Chains A and B, each alone.
Chain A
Amino acid sequence: MAVRMPHWFRQIWNTKGLSRWIFLVGLFITLVFVVFAIFAPWIAPYHFNQTAVDGVKFPKLGSASSDHWLGTNDQFYDIASRMIWGARTGLEVVVMSVAFAGVIGVPLGLLSGFVGGWIDRVLVFLMDAIYAFPSLLLAIVFAFLLKNTLGGGVVAAALSLTAIYIPQYFRVVRNTTVSAREATYVEAARAIGAPPLTIMRKYLFGNVVQSVPVLGTLNAADALGTLAALGFLGLGIQPNEASEWGYDLSRALDDAQAGNWLPAFWPGLMIVLLITGLTFVGEGLNEGINPALRRRRLQKVVFPARTAGEEVSS
């Protein structure tokens, strides 16, 4: 991987104007949120679950001040702290759900595509059935089911999102495997006596996972939206477990109707920014990795003037 990183990065760098800027802007936004997430305890003035400092309660719906940069909301929380801690929650859930989905979906797709036969047919049917459900509905069902066993925490939220994305990895990997299975190098691997597991591990895996990072970033953006939707419906993470923008947004709606729209504006902005950032990164990766989309910058050919000496004839 260490050898490959600069290679694909150079490919993205060499793509034409707009798509390169999209990638860089996306990368910048995402990195800012990553910094928020990692250093939340140090950046945020208060804990996400804090409603008082030194025994003094925060004001309800307080306006912006030097104590509360963005004011407080109707649950006495400091909005700025909630926003910064929210980045941690969002990225944790997104990374976990995408990682779970990949860890389950990729091997299943590899197996299904390589082995074929009835295993393939059953898995494809199952995955298509899951995929056919509206993703939010599916997430709600899983959130309900997991609430009793795992509670309303980050892990439960991540797992309820995982189920939505498994079929996507499965499909992409299965389809690339089906075509890669016929490649001569796989036949060559059989010819040197490689058992099926080795063929999948050493010959197919490396060649079929190349589209997974793109899918991962695009799914991450989608997962964040779904997480916010779950929180908005009150089915996601509970406010005392972690700070979650979707929940804050739903709490702030009544106040917005009453004329105080700032408590709703900030979580909304956060959701939109991070989704945009992740989507941009995904699209940038896609153009860098997918040769069909890639249009490289080509220097115009300039013919040097012919030197007179070349034209000597006998």
Chain B
Amino acid sequence: MPTKPDTATTENRERSATVLDLDQLAVHFQLQGNALSRLLGLKGRVVKAVDGVSLRLARGEVLGVVGESGSGKTTLGRALLGLAPTSSGSITYQSADRGPRVVSEMRGAELRGLRTDLQMVFQDPHAALNPSMTIEEAVGHPLVIHGMAQGPELKRRVEEALDKVGLSPTERFLTKLPSDLSGGQKQRAVIARAIILDPEVLVADEPVSMLDMSVRAKILQLMLDLKRDLGLTYVYITHDLATAKYFCDRIAIMYLGRVVEIGPTEEIFDHPRHPYTKALLAAIPEPDPEKMLPRNLPRGEIPDAAEPPLGCSFHPRCPEAVRGCGWESRDLRALVEEHWTRSDTAFDDEQQILGDLEHLDAPSTTATLGSGGSSAVRGILDRIKGEDPDEPLWSGVTSIEDTGPGVTVHFEKAGPPALRRAGGVDVACVLYPDETSDRDEA
């Protein structure tokens, strides 16, 4: 069911080449609160695991989805197969022979039928195989479920699939249980199970990260061979930029449920634009003693997706942050605490004056703090500012006014930046303002 009538011929060609079309896809999870709030029937917090992702997967390409844990990359992969429910937006699958189908609206049997075309490979091959099923049963089960083969035909197809993934001679593996196989062999069995239905798209969620170094390359090579032989399209989900660089045609960098940069692999690696992409690239420990990690790594960790930072999600960690990034109360708390880790005595001296900082954790563009008198509080803030006048948080402060025994700091309001064209890629960062605003609207 096409959403728009195709007009231009170029767009037509582009559409036929598109296998998966994601439009503002969002997957939100309702968290269960603690026991008390559940008893009272209160709604828990909402985690926006995937929050407005639009992208197109072209037939035959390898798209890398790269991010840290908590970036939403695994949820995105599950949503593609309908394993995670779509909250809003849509996923459209255009199969080679049956025309477009909207995955995000499918339920039950229809959704299960889709799995003959979209398949998945999991991170932990050991956990992905039923411990009480033999390899023959496990690999052949998709055919049984979809009623596509039985008896000798089933066995023939299973042996064929095992041969394709290199588990040969097959009689050595057919009767084995997963616990009898090595990690690499189990992952081959999982891949065999995925390709036995002859799918078009394979979502591979960290397929090599649990494997030993000496076999990672072997499994990646197998996946490349299968792509060539079977004409597969891959979505390669990973936290490892090094394998993504070798394996992918295009890469989407995800941070806290959003794509922050997407473009051709070469362009991303040769000219990373988003500060997060740059940081990821710089942080990879290379087996080369001459190259050292840079000192200005992003601080902190990926924040809670239930309460993402205001403005750009990456700004609290960003080494290149500027005024318009969306500074807020929690950043002020982090700055004060960081200041306390820099000196022995500051904490004991200043803690009383600033009072409790817990309330700053409620995200807001106004932050009221201090209990030891406005001027004393201002003094501490000035001292912190003096330690690092270039700290971009201060540029986002619009005013500081005295309130009671402390001060109120007002920050400039800013929304999350949208994906915008910059060079050969799309970037969501205030440092790259829209260079093609007129074309985008067309």
Contact = CB atoms under 8 A, between A and B. Distances in A.
Complex contact flag A–B (Cβ < 8 Å): yes
A15 to B, nearest CB: 20
Interface stretch (B122-130, B241-249, B331-339, B418-426): B122-130
B81 interface: yes
Given A184-B122, A192-B145, A206 B132 contact: yes
A248 B245 CA distance: 82
Interface in A175-211: 183-185, 187-195, 198, 202-203, 206-207
A212 to B, nearest CB: 14
Contact of A192 (B124, B132, B142): B142
Interface residues of A, number: 17
B260 to A, nearest CB: 27
A191 B132 contact: no
Interface string B41-67: 000000000000000000000000000
A182 to B, nearest CB: 10
Contacts of A184: 122-124, 127-128
A285 B193 CA distance: 35
Interface of B: 78, 81, 83, 109, 112-116, 119-120, 122-124, 127-133, 141-142, 145-146, 190, 193-194, 197
Contact of B146 (A183, A190, A193): A193
A185 B112 CA distance: 16
Nearest to B130: A185
B76 to A, nearest CB: 15
A198 B114 CA distance: 17
B340 to A, nearest CB: 40
A129 to B, nearest CB: 19
A187 B112 contact: no
A206 B78 CA distance: 26
Given A194-B112, A195-B112, A198-B145, A188 B120 contact: yes
A178 to B, nearest CB: 14
A194 B131 contact: no
Pick the 5 closest A-B CB pairs, nearest first.
A193-B115, A184-B127, A193-B112, A206-B132, A192-B142
Interface of A: 183-185, 187-195, 198, 202-203, 206-207
A22 B269 CA distance: 66
B190 A188 contact: yes
Contacts of A188: 120, 122, 128-129, 190, 193
Contacts of B146: 193
Q: Which of A189, A192, A195 has the most CB of B within 10 A?
A: A192
Contact of A202 (B116, B123, B124, B141): B141
A198 B120 CA distance: 19
Nearest to A205: B132
B115 A192 contact: yes
Q: Which of A187, A191, A202 has the most CB of B within 10 A?
A: A191
Given A187-B122, A188-B120, A193 B142 contact: yes
Nearest to A198: B145
Contacts of A192: 115, 119, 141-142, 145, 193-194, 197
Contact of B131 (A185, A191, A198): A185
A309 B81 CA distance: 62
B112 A183 contact: no
A228 B255 CA distance: 66
Contacts of A206: 130, 132-133
Contacts of A202: 130, 133, 141
